[in-house]
Amino acid sequence: MSTENVYSIGKPDGEIDNDILRPVESFPTKLWWIAFALATTAMLVMWGIIGYSFKVGLGILGINNPVAWGFYIINFVFWVGIGHAGTLISAILYLFRQRWRTSINRAAEAMTIFAVMTAALFPLIHLGRPWMVFFIFPYPNERGPIWTNFKSPLLWDVFAIGTYFSVSLVFWYMGLVPDIATMRDRLTNMEPKTKLGKFLLGIKKITVRIMAIGWVGSAKTWLHYEKMVMVLAALSTPLVLSVHSIVSMDFATSVIPGWHATIFPPYFVAGAIYSGFAMVMTIMIISREVFQLKSYITMKHLENMALVILLTGMMVSFAYTIEFVVAAYSGNGVEQYVFKNRMGILDHASPYAWSFWIMFTCNVVSPHFMWFKKLRTNITVLFIISIVVNIGMWFERYVIVVTSLHRDYLPSSWDLYIPTWADYGVLIGAFGWFFFWYLLFVRALPSIAIAEVKADEAGDKLAKGFGH
């Protein structure tokens, strides 16, 4: 039974509430305010650029004829990838009864929601005529009706991302309900000093009461609730795998050398989990430092994540290798050229080889430090690697999108892709947008699933209790 005890916190339930709800119930720290200010500025910059591009057109970006997709789509794929860890943790690890998930799943799910929100932004703003976006929804209209093209991977995306976002959102919220109920009942015995405080508290009380949808922890409700969580987990598992597979089909179903690859779906999923876990780790390391949650997010948690990163990292490396093997074996000159061009081993210059080698070092080399217990239990190392991995994963998408497009079939149409200020602005702004929401989340809602932690704790006690 030692496996259970590793994660047991050994605090009374009341204590747990206090610890986890501290950030929610106390006034934000200076650190938080600074972070929030930065995030918001970046976000506003992004909206400014987007507004401008709506006004004058996408010409302000660096994309051109051969490379018609640039930073926007790269970011889209990147953020969708990030959005995978959350559901994975809350669903797959749940089904595998991995107890260590309980301390991190809430935050991870939140991260998923915001990552998908960020990702979903890009397909919209990269449209030439965003105000016409309703054309991609198949609804009965006065134009015939003319429907959408159900054979288009982009339409699959719409359904996949839509489903994924709504399901994860619901899953996440339902998970929150008991904890919100806890907040609700803690607020009743809270006394504000100032008039303003009274007013704010009033508002908070009402919102929390509404969000708690009258949860009172009845055993009958718990029973259905547990089943629901189980079912949603079971549904989310194939969903999470399908989403990135479908995103990968945007590329895999095309005819462009470097995109046209059957290995893409599993390769993308692995990559997604890889980057997702890296992102979770980054955030966890920060929040356990900032919110004194060390006893909940222990070294053991981080170590487990590190191992997942190592595993998926090797899967991704394997996928890279396969790509090259396939190209070499295909006997297709164009395909082979593209991969030589990626690596920069041509008789003439290949302008984007550097991006490939950045990706290679970050994604293939860096995870192997995790083999050593000394390193994977060292916060600094973990933090650096988790960030390096995400840089690598961003460049993976850069390699796939840009290097494949800029030199495809007809050398006559080959051209360069040179990002502009707008591209960079939106790239940074996207992070601002993501963290804007995440920072609000950690202030407003419990970032660890209280009820689940308690349940696990009780589980230990009961186990003992029944012992004698």
Q: Give, as ranges, the residues between 70 and 109 that touch other proteins (CB under 8 A).
A: none
Indicate whether 196 belongs to the interface with other proteins (CB under 8 A): no
13 or 303: whose CB is closer to other proteins?
A: 13
The residue count for binding other proteins (CB under 8 A) is 125
Please give, one letter per residue, the 3-state secondary structure of 361-425: HHHHHHHHHHHCHHHHCCHHHHHHHHHHHHHHHHHHHHHHHHHHHHCCCCHHHCCCCCCCHHHHH
Secondary structure class of 179 (helix, strand, coil): helix
Least distance (Å) between residue 426 CB and other proteins: 16
Q: Which residue has the tokens 């430092």?
A: 289
136 or 314: whose CB is closer to other proteins?
A: 136
Least distance (Å) between residue 376 CB and other proteins: 32
Residue 125 one-letter amino acid: I
Q: How many residues does the chain have?
A: 468
In terms of phi and psi (left: phi > 0; alpha: psi -120 to 50; beta: otherwise), the region of 257 is beta
Least distance (Å) between residue 174 CB and other proteins: 6
163 or 378: whose CB is closer to other proteins?
A: 163
117 or 177: whose CB is closer to other proteins?
A: 177
Indicate whether 22 belongs to the interface with other proteins (CB under 8 A): no
Indicate whether 150 belongs to the interface with other proteins (CB under 8 A): yes
Contacts of other proteins in 35-64 (CB under 8 A): 56-59, 62-64
- CA contacts within 13 A on the Cβ side of 360: 10
166 or 292: whose CB is closer to other proteins?
A: 166
Q: Map residues 430-459 to x or -, x wherever contact with other proteins holds by CB under 8 A.
A: --------------------xxx-xx--xx
Q: Of 12-20, 114-122, 322-330, 378-386, which segment contacts other proteins by CB under 8 A?
A: 12-20
Burial class (CB in 10 A: 0-12, 13-18, 19+), 254: middle
CB 264 within 8 A of CB 270: no
CB 168 within 8 A of CB 116: yes
Q: Of 80-88, 110-118, 276-284, 332-340, which segment contacts other proteins by CB under 8 A?
A: 332-340
Rounded Cα distance, 73 and 131, in Å = 19
Q: Of 6-14, 114-122, 277-285, 371-379, which segment contacts other proteins by CB under 8 A?
A: 6-14
Least distance (Å) between residue 456 CB and other proteins: 9
Please give, one letter per residue, the 3-state secondary structure of 347-364: CCCCCCHHHHHHHHHHHH
Which tokens in the block code for residue 283? 């955030």
Q: What is the CA radius of gyration of the chain?
A: 24
Least distance (Å) between residue 239 CB and other proteins: 5
Indicate whether 380 belongs to the interface with other proteins (CB under 8 A): no
Rounded Cα distance, 164 and 80, in Å = 10
Least distance (Å) between residue 150 CB and other proteins: 5
Q: Which residue has the tokens 């006690």?
A: 461
Least distance (Å) between residue 223 CB and other proteins: 5
Indicate whether 345 belongs to the interface with other proteins (CB under 8 A): no
Rounded Cα distance, 318 and 364, in Å = 9
Asked if residue 238 has a cis previous peptide bond (ω within 30° of 0), the answer is no
1, 31, 196, 255: which one binds other proteins (CB under 8 A):
255
26, 65, 194, 380: which one binds other proteins (CB under 8 A):
65
Rounded Cα distance, 206 and 222, in Å = 24
354 or 409: whose CB is closer to other proteins?
A: 409
Contacts of other proteins in 164-193 (CB under 8 A): 166-167, 170-171, 174, 177-178, 181-182, 184-186, 188-189
8, 41, 163, 295: which one binds other proteins (CB under 8 A):
163
Neighbours of 200 (CB within 10 A): 12
Indicate whether 148 belongs to the interface with other proteins (CB under 8 A): yes
